[in-house]
Structure 1
Amino acid sequence: MFATEHVGIEPDLMTMAKGIAGGFPISAVVGKAHVMDSALPGGLGGTYAGSPLGCIAGLEVLKIIEEEQLCAKAQGIGEVVNARMTALQKTVPTIGEIRTIGAMMAIEFTDPETQKPLQDVTKAVIAKAQENGLILLSCGVKANVIRLLPPLTIESDVLAEGLDKLEAIILDVAK
């Protein structure tokens, strides 16, 4: 469920928010007992922590994750996207690194000779994607990365359609 599990890290403390309650405002601080028990009563809290309605929403999201096997679906989505982007990388030398953990992916654009970040290519891909009905976000400190984070409930044909569009755009803009 968490990226830490993919890389063998066992954190002492984690913070969570956003999707843990399906859009309902809630946050969480989760940690090992010795860390969590070290705070005085009332010492841990936050604006969106502990709301009874938020907690119910969070529990319902956990049920859906389990019932619909969304962790496995996330892994499958990541494998599909990674395979398609890795194949595309062979013909588009400006695709640098492709990073994937589950359904959260990043495509980095760099000059193949100098390894300098290609912010203009990233901006052009995003702009052309928007013209073609795809919403993409750039990220990274060098502004040369596109982040993909499709919904875990995406149908295979919709994912394929989006990837077809993305591949065509990258071939047009980034080659």
Structure 2
Amino acid sequence: ARVILQLEKQIGADNLAAVIIEPIQGEGGFIVPADGFLPAIVDWCRENGVVFIADEVQTGFARTGHMFASEIFGIEPDLITTAKGIAGGLPLAAVTGRAEIMDASHSGGLGGTYGGNPIACAAALASIDVFENDGVIERAREIGAILTERLTSIQQSDPRVGDVRGHGAMIAAEFVDPESKAPDAALTAAVAKACIAQGVVVLTCGTYGNVIRFLPPLSIGDDLLNEGLDIVAAALAAA
């Protein structure tokens, strides 16, 4: 309700062409929206003739345990942007949308640097076949269950671990001051540095720089995943 009030009073529906949002924030800290948030925004957009665009560059293609994160929240975007997982590492990006929007552009008016690369397109077709037929979506959920179980186990014994959140193989842990619960960017950076020194590449994110995000390959095995989490746990214990 607060967001819609802001859109109406500070911007005005007549001045707004589109709302673009990540169904689960990436760089912002893997923020999962509250139940009902995205459907309410979509409904408002439809009522006011505003295009709703889902940025699924990071969340798309099985990462969250669904082919697209929009499915988790029961929404159908007017446009969706994708990249990253679409071609298994080859450079490719895509915009997909309702026909009346995609067909509205003049000839040659819609394109992209990597859009026509035939090798990347072939890789995308092969990758999509794997996503749909080789159990990768289910594997993302299994990875998420392992990540969540291990991280919440650490959280129960270490008050410096704040929120643990996410969907599928897109899980994050916040690091906080144990007394005030304020974001602890220094601790987060120290843990990340120690992990990288041991060969586990982790990335920090979030508005306050106090979130470590876990985005393991969907092809990772349980042994390697747990070995990486062991190193994360040891790095936190030593920090």
- TM > 0.5 fold call: yes
**Which residue of the partner structure matches residue 124 of structure 1?**
190
Alpha carbons of structure 1 residues 62 and 116: separation in structure 2 relative to 1, 3 Å:
same
Q: Percent identity, aligned pairs only? A: 46
Q: Distance in 2 between matches of 1:8 and 1:67?
A: 23
Gaps of at least 5 residues in structure 1 are none
Q: Which amino acid aligns with 2:237?
A: L
Alpha carbons of structure 1 residues 79 and 37: separation in structure 2 relative to 1, 3 Å:
same
| Alpha-carbon shift at residue 168 of structure 1 (Å) | 2.1
1:101-144 CA distance string (max 9 Å, x none): 11011111122433321011001101111222211111112111
| Corresponding residue to 1:111 among 173, 177, 189 | 177
Q: Distance in 2 between matches of 1:53 and 1:74?
A: 26
Q: Distance in 2 between matches of 1:41 and 1:115?
A: 54
Gaps of at least 5 residues in structure 2 are 1-66
**Which residue of the partner structure matches residue 148 of structure 1?**
214
Q: Which amino acid aligns with 2:196?
A: Q
| Alpha-carbon shift at residue 14 of structure 1 (Å) | 1.1
* Superposition pairs of residues 87-98 of structure 1, within 5 angstroms: 87-98=153-164
Q: Does 1:25 align with 2:91?
A: yes
Q: Does 1:6 align with 2:72?
A: yes
**Which residue of the partner structure matches residue 223 of structure 2?**
157
Q: Distance in 1 between matches of 2:219 and 2:161?
A: 27
Structure 1, 32-41 or 152-161: larger mean CA deviation: 32-41
Q: Distance in 1 between matches of 2:78 and 2:91?
A: 24
Q: Which amino acid aligns with 1:136?
A: V
| Alpha-carbon shift at residue 40 of structure 1 (Å) | 2.5
**Which residue of the partner structure matches residue 83 of structure 1?**
149
Q: Which amino acid aligns with 1:79?
A: A
Aligned-pair Cα RMSD in Å? 1.5
Q: Which amino acid aligns with 1:107?
A: A
| Alpha-carbon shift at residue 66 of structure 1 (Å) | 2.2
**Which residue of the partner structure matches residue 48 of structure 1?**
114
**Which residue of the partner structure matches residue 33 of structure 2?**
none
Q: Distance in 2 between matches of 1:154 and 1:53?
A: 25
Q: Which amino acid aligns with 2:199?
A: G
Q: Distance in 1 between matches of 2:235 and 2:138?
A: 29
| Alpha-carbon shift at residue 13 of structure 1 (Å) | 0.8
| Corresponding residue to 1:69 among 127, 132, 135 | 135
Q: Distance in 2 between matches of 1:41 and 1:102?
A: 39
**Which residue of the partner structure matches residue 59 of structure 1?**
125
Alignment coverage as a number of residue pairs: 173
* Superposition pairs of residues 160-171 of structure 1, within 5 angstroms: 160-171=226-237
| Corresponding residue to 1:137 among 188, 200, 203 | 203
| Alpha-carbon shift at residue 37 of structure 1 (Å) | 2.4
TM-score with structure 2 length normalisation? 0.68
Structure 1, 100-109 or 3-12: larger mean CA deviation: 3-12
Q: Distance in 2 between matches of 1:43 and 1:97?
A: 44
